[in-house]
A = this chain, B = another copy of it.
Amino acid sequence: MRDLSGGAPALLSINGATVRKQADLLGIIDACARHGIGAISPWRDQVAAVGRERAQRAIKDAGLKLSGYCRGGLFPADAAHRSDMRDDNRRYVDEAAALGAPCLIVVAGGLPQYARPGSAPSKDIVGTRAMIEDGLAELLAYARTAKLPLALEPLHPMYCADRAAVNTLAQALDIAQRLDPQRTGAPGSALGVAVDVYHTWWDPDLYDGIARAGREKRILAYHVRPCRSTRC
């Protein structure tokens, strides 16, 4: 594994999806410990496969921290699928809180037929974004009761239709500002953002957005990716 940490692997967290083909969660935890990696962000299915208590014990025994839990969201749904969507997301909050994760990563979802399969097909991107904001507002109210911050992750615009119609950091920060207005002196945001270089590198406003996110105390996760090229 190439060292992306500048010699400080304890500052890194491994996202469970990155190594899901190599091992189950217990194997991933063991590998992180061996490589001196400091934290982990597991996915629901990975925790479920080994059981929450066993996962928690292994994380604790390995001296790892949790950096987040993956992933809630996928808000757009037609009327028939809306309560399933709501329940599913509340379970994500409950699971993340029970695990002791510091935040839940939230991916917005694309058009309803992709976000919640079975929903009536639509090409209404404006309406899709309204569903995202409504769903997120509702989940945020629930997450506040669990004191669990949500980290909204903008995805690259190539995923706009099928995975996430939140596609720029500025868009995510504007949503956060509307749903969780910044309060001076507050300890942190209930709704923050996850900044992923894979999804945001192309954005001409990226550096301004990162500076803004820092000022507004919104950055809950920062994702880097190992590059497949040997040249970088």
Binding site for B on A (CB under 8 A): 121, 123, 125, 129, 156-158, 160-161, 165-168, 171, 201-204, 231-232
A202 and B123 form a contact (CB under 8 A): no
A125 and B202 form a contact (CB under 8 A): yes
9 of the cross-chain contacts (CB-CB < 8 Å) are A125-B201, A157-B157, A157-B203, A158-B158, A160-B201, A160-B202, A166-B204, A167-B204, A168-B204
Residues of B within 8 A of A202 (CB): 125, 157, 160-161, 165, 167
Closest beta carbon of chain B to A133's beta carbon, Å:
11
Question: Chain A at the B interface: mostly helix, strand, loop or mixed?
Answer: loop
Residues of B within 8 A of A123 (CB): 232
Closest beta carbon of chain B to A136's beta carbon, Å:
14
Instruction: Name which residue of chain B comes closest to A158, CB basis.
Output: B158
Closest beta carbon of chain B to A69's beta carbon, Å:
27
Interface centre among A157, A158, A201 (most CB of B within 10 A): A157
Instruction: Name which residue of chain B comes closest to A171, CB basis.
Output: B204
Closest beta carbon of chain B to A163's beta carbon, Å:
12
Known: A125-B202, A161-B202, A167-B203. 19 other contacts (CB 8 A): A121-B231, A123-B232, A125-B201, A129-B204, A156-B157, A156-B158, A157-B157, A157-B158, A157-B202, A157-B203, A158-B158, A160-B201, A160-B202, A165-B202, A166-B204, A167-B202, A167-B204, A168-B204, A171-B204
Residues of B within 8 A of A161 (CB): 202
Closest beta carbon of chain B to A190's beta carbon, Å:
22
CA distance A99 to B168 in the complex (A): 40
Closest beta carbon of chain B to A110's beta carbon, Å:
10
CA distance A158 to B166 in the complex (A): 15
Residues of B within 8 A of A232 (CB): 123
